Structure 1
Amino acid sequence: MTINESWEKIERWLARYAPEEELPGPAGLDDIARLSDQIGVQLPPDVEHSLLRHNGSGFVTIVPPGVVLYGVDEIARSKGRFAKGEESVYVPIGNIGSWEEIVDTRTGRIGGHDPEQGYFWEDDPLWESFSTVLAFVADVLDSPPPWIAMLPGEEEWEATYQDAVFPGTLSWTEEPNGPVDWDMDSLARQFGPIGGSNGNGS
């Protein structure tokens, strides 16, 4: 599935079920070139193609459990916080709280960075590229409801547009079978403080 095909499925779901959401417009080729100059590496083609479709996701939590995607300016700002040297090939492309989703520009593989734990990479094929992750989300939202994403480790996250605080938006909730007893300390350790930058609290 191409990046554009994945975005088309996601956009259809948002238009039908989450009319309150608004995705940013496209970045330009000049924006991509400027970004490469600023961060000193070139993004994988699938990440660039996504930016040319939508310059980030604004406040829309595209990837479960609630990752918002960075635009070119946010990538440049966040990349400036990352270590130089060997790790300079890692580029942040989204976040949930203080946890950032990153891409290895040499391989295209998706990983994470936590201020306390540092960098980490999953072995699951889901994270082999950004296009794989986006296609996974697109297929979940393009399926009949309930829209449940089974993440590695058998975590189930359900997409809903009936959030009590933000109705008409895309929210991912870990309660497909009813309410759960949230372990907030565990969530904070895994994803960082709730309500961090660029989150909509969903």
Structure 2
Amino acid sequence: MAERCSRFAESRDKALELFASKGFGQVGMRELAAFLGLAPGSLYHHYPSKQHLLLDLIEEFYEELLATLGRIERQPRDLRGCLQNVIHAHLNLHREMPWHFRLVERDSGCLNEDQQARVRQLQEHYERQLLMILCPTPQLSEQGLLAAGHAIASVLNNAPSWLALHPLDDWERNELLENLLSGAIERLLGHASGDLPDVQTKVA
């Protein structure tokens, strides 16, 4: 039984790579089963549709993000150090789970309405927890809270792809990303906590 579960876990990893590289909408269940070396009936036994498999992979992604934030929460509460820990953890996850990041960003809209609602619930939970770690007493409305958490999460999760086409050494890429993320997120946190005045543009 353990060997069979291990084999199916490997199949899920292969499915993730196929979806992320080729595009979820371009892969049919029969093609997926053939790629995994499974009979279609065996695949349907575990997942009644491609969408169920996609949802499982996306849930896995958010569960890992939430577990990462949970570990950071248990560390000493120094705001500057906390931000650096959050940045480093997200950059590490991007290196460890690149296919998940791509799949979530590009293919979440392929899920049905109920599944998309589940993903939004997980996303909001993660984004709210992220903001609470970085800014425990935000001076924001409920909608402002959701927007700030979403903005910070978007920057953290998308920034590594901005440099994907540039052949940089790892240390140089990491330094650029850390400086970029620190500056952007500190500015956002300043507004979220009320420490920065609103900037108003005056038209002459």
The verdict on a shared fold, with TM-score over 0.5 as the criterion, is no
Larger Rg: 2
TM-score by length of 1: 0.25
Structure having the higher strand fraction is 1
Query: Structure 1 or 2: larger helix share?
Result: 2
